[in-house]
Chain A
Amino acid sequence: MRTIAVDIDDTLNNFTQTLRATHFAYHERYALPPALFDEYLERLRNNTPVDEALLSTRFAYFRARIHLECYQRAEARADGVAFMQWLKREGWRIVICTHRDLRTAYAATKEWLEQNHIPFDYLFRAGNKIVFCRLWGIDILIDDNMFNVVYGGRYGVRVFYPKTAPKTSDSPVTQESGARGFETFDQLKPWISV
């Protein structure tokens, strides 16, 4: 059985667009004064995190809360959904491979996948997806993270990335990486069948 690993955020969904465009109303559940709420939200949207010496901070808590809301609100790519359903019909083993903290995001993630009729066999969080794919014998990864795009090929993982994702659209991808960008998920079908 062939196995494929597929990322969620900015690959199967529009996470960054959701983060930037959604109106998040101030609420005391964020445990912040209003001015700090506005500042932190702006930082999240611009991807300029607070440089802090500690792990458990108000910004870290706020980021987790807002990200969780985005996981729930983000829209699935229709061609991505159709592609995942095609994978299932073709007998692929599907591993959803994400950076999300699944301790807190598992329920929302599973619900979102089910609501969008996205089939999967396993759900994994991996700090380093290339290492994960190598350990688990997975040679195909669909992901927008530039680290994986640049280094996957070097370690035997063929990486396909959405050209329209914020991370990959801003950065040039060299030929040597072996990674290949796609505009629609349909393009992937012949590429991964090789």
Chain B
Amino acid sequence: MDQRVALLEAFYRGLPTDRAKLETSAHGFEFLAHLQTRGIQLEYGELTTSEVLHKYKVTHVSAAQVEQFLDWHVAKLCNVCLYFDRQANPVLSFNLDNDNALNNTQLIPEVELAKSSLVAGLEALDCKPLVIASGRGYHIWCRLQAAIPNQRLYQFMIHTGAAALLAVQEQGLDQHKVKLNLYPDVRIQDLVSLRLFGSEHAKNHVFSRILDGTTLLDERGSWAYFERHLALRTIALATFDKAYDAVVPPIG
């Protein structure tokens, strides 16, 4: 097995692998038949408007097939996006994007500031995140020692995310220009998936580089950082609980 595939499997362990979304230029009924002969079912497909990029939501994916998808992912033949478990997950992610209706592929100051504030807030809680440049924004991941109920993850993310947006507003910038999506989102958890590290962005084909402080690492450096983060930065449950209590007001 490719070492990078092993790293991806380790980092994202606990996310369901019986379903996925594939982003690829591959298309045609022969391609679909190729998937279907392996028992995979296509829920729906999509042709994006930005360029000839297809997205396929597939289900009934076997463990062996997931590994093949990840092989394709690291070989840049497709991007693999995974969904989150409906009950509990051992990872969480903030997705920060430019929300402008026109020209939303640019990295804008509001997104940069929201990212910096969010990372600082998480680090202050002893929850060192993995920050991945997504093209027009950032995916900010926290890997946890074990799965935590989605509602609890969501409450944690709502409060830390809101604090980051407040920091944008306090600097005199418009926080509404920042789209903040939370994964897992208890309202739409079966509907949305998130690209894994090691992909290329669908629109600009830029590798999903990791941010080390203020330095954007190259592809090789990003993989090395990813491996170190996996080994050293997994958040203990006790640490998460302490962070949760610090940011989420007690009920009543």
Which residues of A are interface residues toward B (Cβ below 8 A)? 3, 52-56, 93, 102-104, 106, 122-128, 131-132, 135-137
Contact = CB atoms under 8 A, between A and B. Distances in A.
A124 B47 contact: yes
Given A54-B176, A93-B29, A135 B47 contact: yes
Interface stretch (B37-45, B150-158, B228-236, B241-249): B37-45
Interface residues of B, number: 25
A56 B99 contact: yes
B69 to A, nearest CB: 19
Given A54-B101, A56-B99, A127 B43 contact: no
B86 to A, nearest CB: 14
Nearest to B28: A136
Interface of B: 27-29, 32, 42-49, 52, 57, 99-102, 104, 176-177, 179, 188, 191-192
Contacts, number: 61
B42 A126 contact: no
A132 to B, nearest CB: 5
A104 B191 contact: yes
A156 to B, nearest CB: 16
Which of B47, B48, B101 counts the most A-chain CB atoms under 10 A from its CB?
B47
Contact of B45 (A55, A123, A127): A123
Given A52-B101, A54-B100, A106 B46 contact: no
Contacts of A137: 28-29
22 contacts: A3-B29, A52-B101, A53-B101, A54-B100, A54-B101, A54-B177, A55-B99, A55-B101, A55-B104, A55-B179, A93-B29, A102-B57, A104-B188, A106-B43, A125-B44, A125-B45, A126-B46, A127-B49, A135-B27, A136-B27, A137-B28, A137-B29
A124 B101 contact: no
Given A56-B179, A104-B188, A122-B32, A128 B101 contact: no
